[in-house]
Structure 1
Amino acid sequence: MQTLEYANSELNKYYAKVVGGACGIRLKNAASGHPFDDRITIDVEKGKGTIEGSNERAVLIGVYKFFYELGCRFVRPGKDGEILVRRSAENCNVKKTYAPKCRYRGICSEGAISEENVTEMVEWLPKIGMNSYFLQFVDGHLFFEKWYRHKESSSLPPEPYSVAASRRHYADAVEAIKRCGLIFQSVGHGWTTEPLGYVTYGDTCSRDEDIQPRHRPLFALKDGRRGFFDDKPGDTQLCYSNSEARAAVTDGIVAYLRSHPETDMLHFWLADGINNHCECEACKKRLPSEWYVTMLNELDKKLTKERIDTKIVFLIYCDLLFAPRDVTLENSDRFVMMYAPIARNYFQTLYTDENFAAAVSAPPYVRNRNRHPQTGGEYLYYLQEWQKKIRCDSFVFDYHLMTFPYGGEPSFTKISRILYEDMGALEKAGMNGNVSCQLQRIFLPTPLPTYVMAERLFGSNRSFEKIETECLGAAFGEQSGKITEFLHKAEKFYLAACMRGETAAGRADVVEKYEQLLESARAGLSFTDENKTVDRSLKNLEYFIEMQRLFAAALKRKASGENNDEEKRALFRFLDERELSVQPYEDTLFRKEGLKSWI
């Protein structure tokens, strides 16, 4: 009932702003179908009628879709991310049914984040038709501490901060997720160490010297020794042929779910990284994926005995890309397969006819001597091999909005086009949605990438250009046309052969032309009091242009073979000093890493 009450409060709040007067719309939860599927029917005439959903979350999404149909737009998180129109009750007529194309439409926590960043993202997701939020790891400390300790900032001093504070932020975020009725996904990595009492991530993570003697035999044998791989708990596998090691993991998951019944989907991943599996003779008899599926079956039996019906998400990633040969899931209804093509090329669409045609072979598994797939065809081959062996629900876990937008093509135009194509082709790949592993603060220079992703996951068949026009038109108002033109030209700059490293010639000249483009764009901005959302968008763009101007100065120096230390200092000083002014929209820590890759 919590989400239905929230939906009703949101309906009344926005109705008062858009229409005014008493709201004559009734909300109805049909409570039908799969709990993760959203079906919505809006039947409103002259401001009166019903909004019905297949669950409480669908009702909330339906409320926002009603206002969308009236002309409102929700372009980014926060109060300055919405464009509201005025309508008379006489003109409030919406009759529409929605059945989203994909079951899983979610975001995963990443980057440097505050509690407010997460809460605002969570509250924004149903406004754009998304239905799930994934809080990574047991307490999110790895991500919260990056913000509150102001990692690598020369202007903001670290705040006093603790794991206990992260746990409070995590709990508050869960409360927001449940209030919005989103599918709550949690944890991921950490199960190979946390159940044994070790801290996996963050500034208090355990070290190899902390391993108790009785636990050392449980860890993977790598290069003749057992312990933390490269002294990193999160990258450390266990000796999966050891039944005691497997039991430690599965018992730990059962204990976690006993005390966290709010979890809708629990991610059970093995350790992060590649080429870090056990080299003992017993482990070498089976592929890592075969030991993994063995543990999944063991876990299912324990959860069934405990009458815990939480869905378990398993990860196809790195060394686990290689499908099992002789084991399969015994209860596929328990599980959801998650495919994570982390090393793919984000300059290109993955799910193309060409890549599917090339998905006929790929290198076989060689223990601790593997490489990431080199082509889209190889990635799809590994996916299809898993799909042949195991049939269960599934979604993609992809990284379009992690480092690529800052280090690949920062106008966000290219990655928005890739998202448009990838999200539109998931059904062709046999996948039931996407959970985006992405920075939470990635709305500068524009909110276009996440907006496009949400539209396509929901099922929009409109052209990319129409979605782009809608999003940027709402964000920038009357100036959206010239701003779109500027962003397209910026995209061409970053896609130039000399910028992609395909040729060494001509970079200085190309950068000089980019500087001219930036100056022209800045001079063309006109700040008005049109509304707070447009004003904020223009300020974000102005910030982006100035940052790019400083970046171009450093890049031109480097391209000319000159020392650019002074220009780099000016760039990073600007970013640090202005960080708070753009905090909800820009992850400065990751932006700096992206810029460093160029200069």
Structure 2
Amino acid sequence: MELIIDNAYQNHEVFQFAEKELKDYWKKMQEKSDALQLQGSYRLRLELAAGGESCHETEQSTMAPDGYVIDTGEQGGVIAGNSPCSVLIGVYSWLQSAGCHFLRPGKKYEVIEPLSGLDALSMTEKKTASLRHRGVCIEGADSLENILDFIDWLPKMGYNSFFLQFKLPYTFMARWYHHENNPLLPEEEFNMDRAEAYTETVRREMKRRGLKLHQVGHGWTGDVIGFPAVEWKPASRNPTGEETGMMAQLNGTRALFHGIPMNTNLCYSDETVMKAFTDQIVRYAVQNPDIDYLHVWLADEYNNVCECDSCKMELPSDQYVRILNLADQKLTEAGSTMRIVFLLYQELLWPPQKERFQNPDRFVLMFAPISRTFEESYQIRPEYGAVMPYRRNEIRLPVDLNENMAFLRAWQEIFHGDSFVYDYPLGRAHYGDFGYVRLAEVIGHDIERLGDMGLNGYISCQELRAALPNALPNYIMGKKLFDPFLSEERLEKEYFSAAYGLEGERVREYLKAVSALCSCDYFNGKGPRENRVVADRMATLEKMAHEFLPFIQEHAKSCGEENRSYWIHLEFHSEYIRRLGKALFYLAAGEREEAGKYWSEFCTFLQQHEIEFQECVDVYRVIEVGQHYTGF
């Protein structure tokens, strides 16, 4: 059976890509399904839901949540969306209903089931995303292929955005190509020129899919003082007197904070600093008009804000809003309508006392509760109490969810514009949940509450290679960001059935039991390192994983080809959690020498197997988190 596509916008690259994807997956489905090998044709039409004359997105359509309509039968039908990206998301939704399972980044991990008959192509669905912002921010160590696989996966899950941190996401790629934290692999050549070329490739692939581009974030402060910042590393030269004079004064001294430009705040009351900062913003925005959301943040460290006589008279957030307002004025004069994302993070959790946004439509609030617990989800309450008092360079970051919500509510009293949360479940917390099931449920429950929190989306700051034992958390995240009313249990069962076949439910119950024994907070350094409960649970986990291993090994040999990688990764995961669990057992038991021994053995085990399992676990980041947070 031939697939014929009537493409209403053949010259638009997102529509061209959607047509190509339909044809590619149709061929894969034909190979599996006798029903598609019959004579005849199947005709699909791709179009904008509004049926407009042009495919160019207006400001109104850019601000509207993605929506699509699918109406297909046994002979064909229509897939329409209110934007090109929405059409592509609708295409993937239709393919999933026809048995194409996109379970994790990488086409080789897709599972395509044979059609029961042509009636399986019939679908009537009209959906509008509940949230405008649905995306992921790059973290960890990533090859170009890792990034491209992830971008390819995003619209399949209903995401519409990707955040390329910094002006150039050099450090995230350099960590992989230089094989940081793995001395067993030789360092590969990688430099700024290659990073720029790879970044252009990434941007191009995003554009083909109609994904929103977020860029920069931290790094502005380094640029202002002559230290372009694309990584969290010490400066390679000493600053000049003029550069030093622009830096924050701490304990009577102005200097790079611990030698690192990325972490260095400035003297934000200084008119020279304000002008240089805002000029940098405008210059970059004008030179990069394809950016949809430009993130303007301060330094990535806290308790290091300026203590000079002028700065200490007001909150950092008052200075921050003043700088943002000046940038808005200059952008307007330059003719730029680029949206600016501002950050609630560290000192900036405390809202300004005096300053207010002069043009709130320019700005998007981003709530970044980096210190929160992931042992539970947010609970919506009538009140959360007052925010803790601000003490310059003596702040404590809130772990408690109600404390975090108090800060958000305080900001929402003075800013009523667009907003989203920038959260971190797959940035560090996931290493503490070996089963991924409990964390996926926390993510899902958080997303269900975003509307009541007054937020219009979610960007996940995370490693892209977060798929050990599988990619359930990102799967749940994407699906529920589009439709938070989807059943968590149904999504889990759908995922495990596709990944592990008839034994999917048994694997799910096993990984749920593994999750129940784990603690995201403990692995992330929250609470005392000596913890009898954690030690006892790690001992139980080792026994449970050992007992379940023969079942995994049996099915790794006997399963179908498309499911084999999931079983092989589950087998690797079994040894991963037994080794790491043993190190955690001794750490929690207070036996640090033994803990160090088993941690070292675990790291060597990871390093030895990195190439084989590179796509599912970020070795650089596991080791970094274990050493900087867990206590090894």
If the length of structure 2 is used for normalisation, what is the TM-score? Answer: 0.89
- TM-fit CA distance, 1:90: 4.8
> In the aligned structure 2, how far is the partner of 1:498 from the partner of 1:453?
23
Q: Cα gap change, 1:580/1:60 in structure 2, threshold over 3 Å: closer, same or farther?
A: same
| 1:27 is aligned to 2:55 | no
| 1:393 is aligned to 2:422 | no
> In the aligned structure 1, how far is the partner of 2:242 from the partner of 2:348?
28
SS of match in other structure, 2:463: coil
| 1:44 is aligned to 2:83 | no
Aligned residue number for residue 235 of structure 2? 206
Q: Cα gap change, 1:206/1:16 in structure 2, threshold over 3 Å: closer, same or farther?
A: same
| 1:493 is aligned to 2:521 | no
SS of match in other structure, 2:517: helix
Q: Cα gap change, 1:187/1:474 in structure 2, threshold over 3 Å: closer, same or farther?
A: same
Q: How many positions carry a matched residue from both structures?
A: 594
Aligned residue number for residue 409 of structure 1? 433
Task: In structure 1, list runs of 5 or more residues that go unmatched.
Answer: none
Most deviating of 412-421 and 511-520: 511-520
- TM-fit CA distance, 1:170: 1.4
* Structure 2 counterparts to residues 467-478 of structure 1, below 5 A: 467-478=491-502
Aligned residue number for residue 433 of structure 1? 457
| 1:446 is aligned to 2:470 | yes
- For 2:23, the aligned partner's letter is N
* Structure 2 counterparts to residues 464-543 of structure 1, below 5 A: 464-495=488-519, 504-505=531-532, 510-525=537-552, 526-528=555-557, 530-543=559-572
Q: For the Cα contact (< 8 Å) 2:97–2:121, is it kept in 1?
A: no
> In the aligned structure 1, how far is the partner of 2:416 from the partner of 2:472?
34
Q: Cα gap change, 1:190/1:512 in structure 2, threshold over 3 Å: closer, same or farther?
A: closer
- TM-fit CA distance, 1:215: 2.4
Most deviating of 490-499 and 574-583: 490-499
- TM-fit CA distance, 1:443: 0.6
- TM-fit CA distance, 1:411: 1.4
- For 1:200, the aligned partner's letter is A
- TM-fit CA distance, 1:115: 0.8
Q: Deviations over 1:260-286 (max 9, x none)?
A: 111111101111111111111112222
- For 1:3, the aligned partner's letter is V
Q: Deviations over 1:274-313 (max 9, x none)?
A: 1111111112222111111111111111111111111110
| 1:363 is aligned to 2:374 | no
Residue from 598, 607, 622 that aligns with 1:591: 622
Residue from 316, 338, 342 that aligns with 1:310: 338
- TM-fit CA distance, 1:570: 3.1
- For 1:433, the aligned partner's letter is G
Aligned identity (percent) is 32
SS of match in other structure, 1:35: helix
Aligned residue number for residue 146 of structure 2? 117
| 1:263 is aligned to 2:291 | yes
Aligned residue number for residue 66 of structure 1? 94
- For 1:573, the aligned partner's letter is T
Aligned residue number for residue 17 of structure 2? 6
* Structure 2 counterparts to residues 42-441 of structure 1, below 5 A: 42-87=70-115, 88-202=117-231, 206-207=235-236, 209-350=237-378, 352-353=379-380, 356-357=381-382, 359-406=384-431, 408-441=432-465
- For 1:26, the aligned partner's letter is R
Q: For the Cα contact (< 8 Å) 2:215–2:293, is it kept in 1?
A: yes
> In the aligned structure 1, how far is the partner of 2:535 from the partner of 2:276?
57
Residue from 579, 586, 594 that aligns with 2:610: 579
Q: For the Cα contact (< 8 Å) 1:205–1:233, is it kept in 2?
A: yes
> In the aligned structure 2, how far is the partner of 1:174 from the partner of 1:68?
26
> In the aligned structure 2, how far is the partner of 1:220 from the partner of 1:189?
16
- TM-fit CA distance, 1:503: 7.7
Q: Cα gap change, 1:47/1:325 in structure 2, threshold over 3 Å: closer, same or farther?
A: farther
- TM-fit CA distance, 1:157: 1.5
Most deviating of 20-29 and 441-450: 20-29
Q: Cα gap change, 1:443/1:98 in structure 2, threshold over 3 Å: closer, same or farther?
A: same
- TM-fit CA distance, 1:512: 3.9
Residue from 564, 570, 583 that aligns with 2:601: 570
> In the aligned structure 2, how far is the partner of 1:507 from the partner of 1:283?
45
> In the aligned structure 2, how far is the partner of 1:480 from the partner of 1:516?
21
SS of match in other structure, 1:281: coil
> In the aligned structure 2, how far is the partner of 1:498 from the partner of 1:214?
44
> RMSD between aligned alpha carbons?
2.3
- TM-fit CA distance, 1:15: 2.1
Q: Deviations over 1:56-89 (max 9, x none)?
A: 1111111001112223221101112222233344
Most deviating of 294-303 and 85-94: 85-94
Q: Deviations over 1:339-396 (max 9, x none)?
A: 000101111212x03xx35511121222212111242222111111111111110000
| 1:462 is aligned to 2:465 | no
- TM-fit CA distance, 1:129: 0.5
SS of match in other structure, 1:397: strand
Q: Cα gap change, 1:501/1:241 in structure 2, threshold over 3 Å: closer, same or farther?
A: closer
Q: For the Cα contact (< 8 Å) 1:145–1:202, is it kept in 2?
A: no
- TM-fit CA distance, 1:529: 6.2
- TM-fit CA distance, 1:143: 0.9
Most deviating of 423-432 and 70-79: 70-79
SS of match in other structure, 1:312: strand
- TM-fit CA distance, 1:572: 2.0
Q: For the Cα contact (< 8 Å) 1:358–1:378, is it kept in 2?
A: no
> In the aligned structure 2, how far is the partner of 1:498 from the partner of 1:565?
17
Most deviating of 473-482 and 191-200: 191-200
- TM-fit CA distance, 1:153: 0.6
- TM-fit CA distance, 1:249: 1.1
> In the aligned structure 1, how far is the partner of 2:542 from the partner of 2:243?
58
Q: Cα gap change, 1:217/1:554 in structure 2, threshold over 3 Å: closer, same or farther?
A: closer
Q: Cα gap change, 1:216/1:515 in structure 2, threshold over 3 Å: closer, same or farther?
A: closer
Q: For the Cα contact (< 8 Å) 2:429–2:521, is it kept in 1?
A: no
- TM-fit CA distance, 1:237: 1.2
> In the aligned structure 2, how far is the partner of 1:504 from the partner of 1:237?
37
Q: For the Cα contact (< 8 Å) 2:216–2:296, is it kept in 1?
A: yes
> In the aligned structure 2, how far is the partner of 1:508 from the partner of 1:319?
35
> In the aligned structure 1, how far is the partner of 2:566 from the partner of 2:384?
42
> In the aligned structure 1, how far is the partner of 2:234 from the partner of 2:529?
41
Q: Cα gap change, 1:510/1:428 in structure 2, threshold over 3 Å: closer, same or farther?
A: closer
> In the aligned structure 2, how far is the partner of 1:505 from the partner of 1:269?
40
Q: For the Cα contact (< 8 Å) 2:429–2:520, is it kept in 1?
A: no
- For 2:388, the aligned partner's letter is P
Q: Cα gap change, 1:339/1:569 in structure 2, threshold over 3 Å: closer, same or farther?
A: closer
Q: Cα gap change, 1:538/1:242 in structure 2, threshold over 3 Å: closer, same or farther?
A: same
Q: For the Cα contact (< 8 Å) 1:409–1:491, is it kept in 2?
A: yes
If the length of structure 1 is used for normalisation, what is the TM-score? Answer: 0.94
Q: Deviations over 1:533-555 (max 9, x none)?
A: 41111111111101222234445
- TM-fit CA distance, 1:566: 5.0
Task: In structure 2, list runs of 5 or more residues that go unmatched.
Answer: 1-11, 31-35
SS of match in other structure, 1:254: helix
Q: Deviations over 1:191-213 (max 9, x none)?
A: 11214431324387525x53222
> In the aligned structure 1, how far is the partner of 2:233 from the partner of 2:586?
40
- For 2:257, the aligned partner's letter is F
SS of match in other structure, 1:76: coil
Q: Cα gap change, 1:47/1:289 in structure 2, threshold over 3 Å: closer, same or farther?
A: farther
